[in-house]
Amino acid sequence: MLVYHLPGTFETREAHLDLLWEAGATGLEERAGLIRAYFDEETELPEAIRDGEWRQEADQDWLAEFKANLRPVQAGRVTIVPPWLRAEIPAGQVGLVIEPGMAFGTGHHATTRMAVEALSDLNLDGQTILDVGTGSGVLAIAGALLGAGYALGVDIDPITIPIAEENARDNAVPEGRTAFMVGTLGDDLPGDVVADGVFDVLVANLYAELHDLLVGVYVGHLRPGGPLILTGILTGKLPLVQDALDREGFTDVQVSTDGEWALVTARA
Ligand code: SAM
């Protein structure tokens, strides 16, 4: 990797930044009093920016670095790990293996962790779960591993579905215990297991404004008394979700938070 080190900052060398771009820089970065300009090859630079120095630096593999820093995530009775950390699942914990990739849901985001924790607080034996915005499938798969009879994950992003299916296979979830489909609430859900579209548990890691819109739809997909688990909510937006739950007659509304993120549970 070829980097041109130019003394100064973006502020002090503002007038020279265009010269770097014009000379063919592919990226600029400011670090410790230096402007680092990335180039594919050494080029003749204009006089005004010749006070720097060309350096050949070792390539940095950001993905490898990200992967090397991943640690197991404990969420209640479940420990979520990438495939290469399977051996670190503590005895007695339910291991959930998720390959970090294109779909949201490695367990490292507070909302995913809180949602898995909320699922692990329930007795899911034989229950049916609807996971709205399934991403990597992490919540549906957690539900199946915690004993649910059937967990259906839906997501509007088609890229997520094969990823969620592969994650279910990697966790040896028995055939038929999870299913994933492109779509959202309001679409026809597959009726082979849950014919009336009414589930025992509904979990959704989306965002506050969407929960506000969908709470009326959630009611129709949840058996009376069934637990609703909602996250992806910034704490500042909690009132929006709480008001929507009140409006639709949900009871036993409880909130937990982790930093700026909140999770709300309620009963239909
Ligand atoms: N469930 C995973 C988790 O808890 O880590 C992923 C949650 S991720 C924050 C939200 C997911 O919801 C994304 O995969 C996105 O494509 C999906 N999504 C957004 N709007 C949706 C909608 N209206 N219906 C279904 N899925 C939606």
ipTM of the complex: 0.99
Number of domains in the chain: 2
From first CA to last CA, the distance across the chain in angstroms is 57
- The answer on pLDDT for 21 being more than 90 is yes
User: Is residue 182 domain-shared with residue 215, that is, in the same domain?
Assistant: yes
Tell me whether strands 53-56 and 94-97 are parallel, antiparallel or unpaired. unpaired
User: Is residue 152 domain-shared with residue 52, that is, in the same domain?
Assistant: no
Which CATH number is 184's domain given?
Answer: 3.40.50.150
User: Is residue 17 domain-shared with residue 81, that is, in the same domain?
Assistant: no
User: Is residue 201 domain-shared with residue 111, that is, in the same domain?
Assistant: yes
Nearest atom within ligand 1 for CA of residue 214: 23
pLDDT band at 220 (very low <50, low <70, confident <90, very high): very high
d(CA 39, CA 90): 46
Closest-CA residue, ligand 1 atom 15, reads 133
Residue 115 has a pLDDT of: 98
The burial class, CB within 10 Å (0-12 / 13-18 / 19+), for 131 is buried
User: Is residue 9 domain-shared with residue 110, that is, in the same domain?
Assistant: no
Residues enclosing ligand 1, CB less than 6 A? 104-105, 111-112, 115, 132-135, 138-139, 154-157, 160, 184, 205-206, 210, 232
Amino acid at position 45, single letter: L
Structure token pair of residue 120: 């692990």
198 Cα–ligand 1 center, Å:
20
Which CATH number is 45's domain given?
Answer: 3.30.70.1170
User: Is residue 40 domain-shared with residue 76, that is, in the same domain?
Assistant: no
Q: Give the model confidence (pLDDT) of 2-19 as tens digits.
A: 999 999 999 899 999 999
User: Is residue 237 domain-shared with residue 114, that is, in the same domain?
Assistant: yes
User: Is residue 33 domain-shared with residue 84, that is, in the same domain?
Assistant: no
80 Cα–ligand 1 center, Å:
19
User: Is residue 21 domain-shared with residue 131, that is, in the same domain?
Assistant: no
**Domain closes at, from 15, 41, 60:** 60
Closest-CA residue, ligand 1 atom 4, reads 112
Q: Give the model confidence (pLDDT) of 170-197 as tens digits.
A: 999 999 999 999 999 877 888 777 878 9
The residue to mutate among 73, 181, 205, 209, having the most atoms of ligand 1 within 8 angstroms of its beta carbon, is 205
Cβ neighbors of 62 (< 8 A, separation 6 or more) are: none
User: Is residue 36 domain-shared with residue 152, that is, in the same domain?
Assistant: no
Q: Give the model confidence (pLDDT) of 35-93 as tens digits.
A: 999 999 999 999 999 999 999 988 777 777 777 788 999 999 999 999 999 999 999 99
d(CA 214, CA 244): 9
180 Cα–ligand 1 center, Å:
12
User: Is residue 47 domain-shared with residue 82, that is, in the same domain?
Assistant: no
Per the structure, the complete domain to which residue 199 belongs is given by 65-267
